[in-house]
Amino acid sequence: MPVIEHKQFIKAPIDICFDLARDVEVHTQTTLKTKERAVGGITRGLLQEGDSVTWEAVHFGIKQRLTAKVIFMEKPHSFVDVMVKGAFKSFIHIHQFIEEKEGTTMIDHFQFKSRFGPIGVLIDKLFLEKYMRKFISKRASDLKKLAEKTAI
């Protein structure tokens, strides 16, 4: 099961980083390349513990839907979402925020499992892990820019 961990230092207060990371409209802004948009569940505002959102996006040229549910939240330090329906067999995404002297360290811990047994393991190793690492890194970079602009 692939595990991706990405750390991003942001020169902005922890509250700003935490809220931007769970804002549905901001998620849409930071995933323009895949044309993500919320089409079910919570479609606007800040996600809370217990909320679900269905995302529609284009990955690998195919329009897909994925429903995720926020199963844990400790403001402003962490929240966890899991896939309840979608292309993966499973995923868990832990979002952590650590307050630093001059900003916030945001940590994404993303663990996923593809469908299709041994073929899925091969797909993960050949390209999906790299694709997801790039996706998470790009979104974190975009969140950093937005948070630092907001904090000014």
Local confidence band at 141 (pLDDT 50, 70, 90 cut-offs)? very high
Report the candidate in 28, 22, 137 with the shortest Cα–Cα distance to residue 74: 22
Does the reported pTM lie above 0.85?
A: yes
Q: List, edge to edge, every strand of the sheet that includes 90-100.
A: 3-10, 103-113, 90-100, 78-85, 62-74, 52-59, 37-41
The letter for the amino acid at 7 is: K
pLDDT of 26-80, one tens digit each? Answer: 999 999 999 999 999 999 999 999 999 999 999 989 999 999 999 999 999 999 9
Asked if the model's pLDDT at residue 24 lies above 80, the reply is yes
- Two structure tokens written together for 101: 């002297």
Local confidence band at 116 (pLDDT 50, 70, 90 cut-offs)? confident
The pLDDT of residue 144? 97
The pLDDT of residue 33? 92
Looking at residue 32, what DSSP letter applies?
Answer: G
